[in-house]
Structure 1
Amino acid sequence: MSSIAVDVRTELSEAPLRPYHWLLVGLVALATVFDGYDTFIPSYILHFVAHEWSLAPSTAGLLMSSGLIGFGVGSLTHGVIADRIGRRPTLIAGLFIAGVFSVLTGAFGTSFTPFVVLRMLTGLGLGVLLPLGTAYVNEYLPDRVHNRLAVLGGTGFALGGVLAAVLGVTLTESGNWPALFYVGGAGILLGLVYLAVFPESVEFLVSRGQTEQAARLLARIRPERAELYRTAGLTSAPQPPARDLRLVLGSSYRRRTLALWMSSFLLLFCVYGLSTWTPQLMIQRGHGFVSGYAFGAVMQGMSIVGAVLGGFVADRYLGARRSVTLWCGLGVAAVLVVAFTDGALGNLLAVGAAGLFIFGGQFLLNNICAITYPVQARGTGEGLMLGVGRIGGILGPYLGGALLGAFGGTSVLFVAVAVAAALAVLSTSFVTGRGEGAISDAGARRQGIVA
């Protein structure tokens, strides 16, 4: 072997954009499609089970939030596993768990208690897919297109939400809502495919001394340097003095970690509060059953626009942190318009804008988190942020239902979301500062994280 040392992080950051990058982004996006679909389908069964199961508004909120409880546990715990055994086996296991319990929910979740229990178990698998997929794809992307491509991987989650809205209308016309959960079982088939085609992270392989496999993957991204990779010594970031939670909450990272957690908590309160209740509230405003569900599809679809546009703004103009702060502020205005607008067109435009800015802002925040920590703690950091954030996601539907039950009408939920988004403007402004071993100072400045 040559005495030349090649830093794999530099090789990946400076690589030209290749078709292999698009393949990896597509694989992550496909996994998160199932995540988003299975997460949001409970919103489209409430119309059918609320009366049959005698659900009060707050209880209905718990029904919607139950999967997020398991989601939070999965997010909090999987990162440590992924940082120890690898991204590939952990993500594939998440697909299998989510798919199996989705099918079981359709078959046996025919009353409130078994439904809630099975949704919690489904969430254990779902909690793996988005945070780990985000951390994974960030480990492969070149700096110059980093935010734009990374959000494309995460926007599979939003596409899943759109799919949930479409199938929520077409498959349940006769009241056959369990069919929605049987569709979620396709995650099992996807997991089988990923056993053959989903590669491990290059940085993780090098950190574990598996340099031959890492060299083969690097050669697919930079084929002109394949011979160098076969003969050189591949290196990654130095082993940090701590790992896992000890590193994430260590003195070098603590401030940014806490700011990320608070921002994710507030934004996911908004995302899940809006996703759960918007279709039902639009039906109450007289827009009709199909139109009410269409509002949910528009919101999810516009989140993709918001994520991609936000990634472009972050890469070219403002940097990631300032872009998230701006998106949160515009989200406040959009949700307030929803709260106090009665017309169909005004509601549609404002709901779309809320999806664009608030949902899109969360995708950008996921990317910031992924590039904050070194490879030895990246899965842990992303999982912990989204695990804490899922507490906000649980509270969004539940407190939204409680507020609607206490105050009536349709506006109070949107006002509560606007308050949370306004607080997120403040919390995201603290997502700054340096962390040792996260990314280079030059890379951090390009991403707009280092002040």
Structure 2
Amino acid sequence: MVKVNPAEIIANSKFNKFHLSLLVWSFFIIAFDGYDLVVYGTVVPVLIEEWNLTSVEAGAMGSYGLFGMMFGAIFFGTLADRIGRKNVIAITLIFFSLFTFLCGFAETPTLFSTFRFLAGLGLGGIMPNVIALLTDYAPKSMKSIIVSIVLCGYSVGGILAPLLGIFLMPTFGWESIFWVAGLPLLALPLMYKRLPETASHLIRTGKREELFATLSKVNPGSTFNKTDEIVELQATVTKVPLVGLFKDNRALSTVMFWIAFFSCLLMIYGLNTWLPKLMIEAGYALNSSLGFLIALQGGAIIGTLIIGRLCDKYGSKKMLVPMYASGAIALTLLGFGGNMFVIYLLIAIAGAATIGSQNIVQAYVSQYYPAYIRSTALGTASGIGRIGGMLGPILGGFLLSIALPIHLNFIAFAIPGLIAAIALALVPEKHVSKESNEDHTKLEQHTKMS
């Protein structure tokens, strides 16, 4: 009887069409997640005029979706460690795609806000599960870069929203860019067929044949028999996965990750909601202000890819701490203006250091915790982060309502960047999960030899 170690087979696999399929579908999902991130900021100047909203009311409306995300991230992240990531991904996709689509038919702020909240439940749950599934199946030498590539979809979707706003809104109205969000529903049947379930869940539920079929795709050179013994990584699994986040000296790390997520998402959602409006207040036209959103997301794509690759080589913490700090500096300088080239450059740096860093810290968290609580770790951190995300649009609306100088608005969004940098600096590397630590040690040895 042969012993089969799924974790070892996956870790030692080479990137192939199985990984490519998982990457493409994950990218597709995250792109629409990012689309939703920016779509409200794209239409908010129009909604303020059409529905006669104050800045505070518009900021509150932007927070309803984030309120739903907080609950969705925590609930669905924990649920996935019980019923499987694949099933939860399908459920959450239906939630966010359907209700974002319905936002385009809302005729009142109340109905619009209700749909945003319901869409937020799905949006909050889908990100942690997609990242956890990617981490589960990525080859050990490519974990961060694969997650980084997929999380670029976040910014691709973020670029698509203002682009469609520029081209569609003048002809079809603001409603049209919400209708686009219904496209993932059409792809759901094929996506569900193609996505794998995580190996640890297949082992727990006794689905040996499905596990062996999936491992054969992960490593086409492997063959399996029904009598093979499956070796599962032993872990102190608890009936309440949340408790595992505080076991084995992980309490400090967990709290620091929560603070970093909270601070960074406050910056991200505040900027994506209010950057166009802030730039209009600074004297730019609506289309130019939407162009700044595109620059923000473009910087995030470049930053995510570069930082992701460097994290695989040097370690996530060493790269992320200075990136958060540089984002705070860029935002502070942005408030003092300059020529158009300088403005675009600072916005791109801010995008790389806020959205890009937030993308990578999710990969870091997914590797920091062991597989049996991975979705829970990401879900709870994202859920706590969404509280900061909710405060971002509210804070921006409040600051605009009291008519502060523009540079003080940007400084207010820069301060959380410094807090995130400090929090992440306090995360002890020595408590990283055993399997991730071993993988990184082997990779460092390989890099030194080569």
Normalised TM-score (structure 1): 0.93
Q: Give the corresponding residue for 1:118.
A: 115
Q: Give the corresponding residue for 1:65.
A: 63
Q: Which residue among 250, 253, 257 is the counterpart of 1:253?
A: 250
Counting aligned pairs with the same residue, the percent is: 27
Whole-Å separation in 2 of the counterparts to 1:354 and 1:334 = 6
The Cα shift of 1:204 comes to 2.4
Whole-Å separation in 2 of the counterparts to 1:143 and 1:40 = 33
Q: Retained in 2: the 8 A contact 1:34–1:157?
A: yes
Are residues 1:384 and 2:380 paired?
A: yes
Whole-Å separation in 1 of the counterparts to 2:373 and 2:122 = 20
Q: Give the corresponding residue for 1:406.
A: 402
Q: Retained in 1: the 8 A contact 2:368–2:432?
A: no
Whole-Å separation in 2 of the counterparts to 1:325 and 1:405 = 33
Q: Which amino acid aligns with 1:45?
A: V
Whole-Å separation in 2 of the counterparts to 1:56 and 1:31 = 33
Please provide the CA RMSD for this pair: 1.9
Of 406-415 and 5-14, the range deviating more from structure 2: 406-415
Are residues 1:441 and 2:437 paired?
A: yes
The Cα shift of 1:443 comes to 2.4
**Residue 285 and residue 6 in structure 1: after superposition, are their counterparts in 2 closer, same or farther (change >3 A)?**
same
Q: Retained in 1: the 8 A contact 2:37–2:269?
A: no
Q: Give the corresponding residue for 2:12.
A: 14
Q: Write the mapping of 1:306-321 to structure 2, written as runs, cut at 5 A.
A: 306-316=303-313, 318-321=314-317
Of 290-299 and 9-18, the range deviating more from structure 2: 9-18
Q: Give the corresponding residue for 2:41.
A: 43
Q: Which residue among 404, 413, 422 is the counterpart of 1:426?
A: 422
Q: Which amino acid aligns with 1:414?
A: F
Q: Which residue among 177, 184, 204 is the counterpart of 1:187?
A: 184
Q: Write the mapping of 1:319-338 to structure 2, written as runs, cut at 5 A.
A: 319-338=315-334
Q: Retained in 1: the 8 A contact 2:89–2:129?
A: yes
Unaligned 5+ segments in structure 1 are none
**Residue 96 and residue 154 in structure 1: after superposition, are their counterparts in 2 closer, same or farther (change >3 A)?**
same
Whole-Å separation in 1 of the counterparts to 2:63 and 2:443 = 33
Of 194-203 and 130-139, the range deviating more from structure 2: 194-203
The Cα shift of 1:200 comes to 1.0
Q: Give the corresponding residue for 1:268.
A: 265
Q: Which amino acid aligns with 2:19?
A: H
The Cα shift of 1:352 comes to 0.7
**Residue 412 and residue 153 in structure 1: after superposition, are their counterparts in 2 closer, same or farther (change >3 A)?**
same
Q: Write the mapping of 1:137-152 to structure 2, written as runs, cut at 5 A.
A: 137-152=134-149
Q: Retained in 2: the 8 A contact 1:271–1:358?
A: yes
The Cα shift of 1:192 comes to 2.4
Q: Which amino acid aligns with 1:15?
A: S
Q: Secondary structure at the match of 1:139?
A: helix
Whole-Å separation in 2 of the counterparts to 1:20 and 1:178 = 37
The Cα shift of 1:287 comes to 2.6
Of 46-55 and 163-172, the range deviating more from structure 2: 46-55
The Cα shift of 1:446 comes to 6.5
Q: Give the corresponding residue for 1:97.
A: 95
Of 37-46 and 403-412, the range deviating more from structure 2: 403-412
Q: Which amino acid aligns with 1:41?
A: V
Q: Retained in 2: the 8 A contact 1:404–1:412?
A: no
Whole-Å separation in 1 of the counterparts to 2:193 and 2:22 = 14
Q: Which amino acid aligns with 1:308?
A: L
Q: Secondary structure at the match of 2:169?
A: coil
Normalised TM-score (structure 2): 0.94
Q: Retained in 1: the 8 A contact 2:335–2:407?
A: yes
Q: Retained in 2: the 8 A contact 1:105–1:178?
A: yes
Q: Give the corresponding residue for 1:364.
A: 360
The Cα shift of 1:445 comes to 4.6
Q: Which residue among 83, 87, 91 is the counterpart of 2:81?
A: 83
Q: Retained in 1: the 8 A contact 2:67–2:386?
A: yes
Q: Retained in 1: the 8 A contact 2:237–2:372?
A: no
Q: Which amino acid aligns with 2:361?
A: L
Q: Give the corresponding residue for 1:216.
A: 213
User: What whole-Å deviation, never above 9, does each CA across 1:208-227 have from its counterpart, x for those lacking one?
Assistant: 332221111111121111x2
The Cα shift of 1:78 comes to 0.2
Of 183-192 and 422-431, the range deviating more from structure 2: 183-192
User: What whole-Å deviation, never above 9, does each CA across 1:302-345 have from its counterpart, x for those lacking one?
Assistant: 211111100111112x3011111121122122112211123222
The Cα shift of 1:434 comes to 4.2
Q: Retained in 1: the 8 A contact 2:367–2:433?
A: no
Q: Give the corresponding residue for 1:278.
A: 275
Whole-Å separation in 2 of the counterparts to 1:442 and 1:77 = 31
The Cα shift of 1:13 comes to 1.3
Q: Retained in 1: the 8 A contact 2:26–2:150?
A: yes
Whole-Å separation in 2 of the counterparts to 1:445 and 1:165 = 42
The Cα shift of 1:355 comes to 0.4
